Amino acid sequence: MTGQRGDGREAGGAGDGVRDAGEPRGRPVREEEARAWEELVGTARRTVADGLVVGTSGNVSVRVGDTVLVTPSGVPYDRLGPRDVTGVDLAGRQVLGGLVPTSELPMHLAVYRTTGARAVVHTHAVHATAVSTLVDELPLIHYMAAALGGPVRVARYATYGTDELAENMLRALDGRTGCLLQNHGTVTHGTTLAQAYDRTAQLEWMCRVWLTASSVPALSPRLLTVDQVAEAGERLRGYGRRD
């Protein structure tokens, strides 16, 4: 296990892959990437403030062109600044920054390679993680499942940071914008960081509602049908629009 420097960053031994944030790597950061990084850091900090992660667990990414900006491994989000921009290409080669990208990079890249997503949020949200240990699919407790594409599946367990986990996640995400990871947490994606984060929050809320309703002795929660959720999805597509 690596130690901690005075600034809160990991200070490992030689050859452990941890680099100093001030050590330049790759090309200069473009203006659009700098703006996206600022938003990414804000979103990562929000996952902590809202109780969706503890410490440096979970991770956030955003795609800018063919570059994926991603939270680095082992760095507290409140200590990330403009000089800490961390980015890779779609093959996973680091092109920006001197910090090691998150260990969950395979999951993020798998989403970008197979969908039109521009942002991914991964958390260890308490209620969602609890549900992931109980069922193979979140019961249809609320129509907001439609905002994620339908019934939310649970990806089979695999060790974090592995290609196997990324593959299991993709199967659970088929036709969806969010899923649960068994004994692990959540993954959602969207066209913006705000949308991906909102989907994470909605998923955690639905899991909490189901757990709460299921805990009432001698009663079982009434569930919606797939058709009812699909109907709600049609209405949600026009939500907030003015013709």
Catalytic residue numbers read 104
Check the CA dihedral 30-32-35-41 and report its sign.
negative
Helices marked H in the chain — which ranges?
31-49, 105-114, 126-132, 163-173, 193-214, 226-237
> Do the Cβ atoms of 176 and 150 come closer than 8 Å?
yes
User: What angle in degrees, to the nearest 10, is found between the helix axes of 193-214 and 31-49?
Assistant: 20
Determine how many CB atoms are found less than 10 A away from the CB of residue 93. 9
Q: Identify the residue whose tokens are 């209405």.
A: 235
